[in-house]
């Protein structure tokens, strides 16, 4: 029962956490639209490979990470800069060669799995996300982490992320196929504006947390 509960809790948190539109999902959508499901699956395997280490080590060192104020402050501020860089990147990619996706072909030669590894490694916001959730789940006794039980929780989180990202990618693809305006404005307007809004929200959180 404890094993099943760990898997279910891990899956639920990870699935819901992976649904909001983030840059990993956006890149996954672009890879799927341009190259198909096999490349998407390789990309997602790269993403969750890094997430496995993040979840495991934040589970073990959650208390230490939370108490390291300098590290958490750097991660929070870096998150703002990174989101703004992403907004500009997607906006700049929308001009010129966006229709034939030459910009993706240049990177896909390095393997979608490698792209997933690199982009997931740069997603430093995973640290506060998983640190906070792991502390909450442990302190609330929603999960058990003794001996091998932590690995059932870890398995649940990875399955949840994988399933959540695939669900969102297919949803975005379906929406782009059936809604002409969505497809037309997705790269040049919708995605950059979304990341700018995320950066503003993150900036407000940083101001409130560290400077207020």
Residue among 126, 129, 171, 144 nearest 8 (CA): 144
CB 149 within 8 A of CB 6: yes
pLDDT at site 93: 59
- pLDDT by residue (tens digit) across 13-58? 898 878 766 778 888 888 898 888 999 999 999 999 999 999 999 8
Tell me the C-alpha distance between 113 and 117, whole Å: 6
- Distance of alpha carbon 175 from alpha carbon 192, whole angstroms: 18
208 pLDDT higher than 90: no
CA-closest candidate to residue 136, choices 51, 44, 17:
17
Mention every residue, 6+ apart, whose C-beta is less than 8 A from residue 40.
28, 31, 32, 112, 166, 169
Query: What is the average pLDDT score of the chain?
Result: 80
* pLDDT average, residue stretch 187-204: 79
Sign of CA dihedral 130, 132, 138, 140: negative
Spatial distance between the Cα atoms of 90 and 21, rounded to a whole number of angstroms:
14
> What does the pLDDT average to over 172-188?
70
Contact at 8 Å (CB) between 47 and 161?
Answer: yes
pLDDT above 90: percentage of residues in the chain: 24
pLDDT digits (tens, 9 = 90+) for 70-124: 877 877 787 788 778 767 766 775 554 444 445 455 555 678 899 999 989 988 7
pLDDT of residue 105: 55
Segment 139-168, tens digit of pLDDT: 778 888 888 888 999 999 999 999 999 999
pTM beyond 0.85: the answer is no
Q: Residue 157, exposed/middle/buried by CB under 10 A (0-12, 13-18, 19+)?
A: buried
**pLDDT single digits (tens) 119-142:** 899 887 788 788 878 887 887 788
Q: 91: alpha, beta or left, given left = phi > 0 and alpha = psi -120 to 50?
A: alpha
Q: Predicted confidence band at 186 (pLDDT cuts at 50, 70, 90)?
A: low
| CB-based contacts of 46, cutoff 8 Å, min separation 6 | 112, 113, 114, 115, 116, 117, 118, 119, 120
């Amino acid at each position: 029962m404890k094993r099943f509960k760990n898997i279910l809790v891990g899956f639920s948190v990870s699935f819901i956490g992976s649904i909001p539109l983030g840059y990993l999902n956006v890149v996954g959508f672009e890879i799927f639209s341009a190259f198909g499901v096999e490349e998407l699956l390789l990309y997602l395997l790269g993403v969750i490979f890094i997430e496995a280490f993040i979840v495991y080590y934040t589970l073990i060192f959650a208390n230490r990470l939370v108490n390291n104020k300098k590290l958490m402050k750097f991660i929070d501020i870096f998150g703002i800069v990174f989101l703004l860089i992403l907004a500009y990147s997607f906006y700049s990619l929308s001009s010129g060669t966006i229709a034939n996706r030459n910009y993706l072909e240049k990177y896909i030669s390095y393997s979608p799995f490698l792209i997933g590894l690199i982009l997931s490694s740069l997603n430093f916001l995973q640290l506060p996300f998983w640190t906070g959730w792991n502390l909450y789940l442990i302190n609330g006794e929603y999960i058990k982490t003794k001996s091998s039980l932590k690995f059932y929780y870890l398995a649940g989180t990875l399955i949840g992320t994988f399933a959540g990202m695939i669900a969102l990618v297919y949803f975005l693809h379906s929406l782009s196929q059936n809604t002409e305006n969505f497809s037309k404005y997705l790269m040049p307007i919708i995605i950059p504006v979304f990341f700018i809004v995320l950066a503003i929200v993150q900036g407000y959180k940083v101001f409130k947390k560290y400077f207020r």
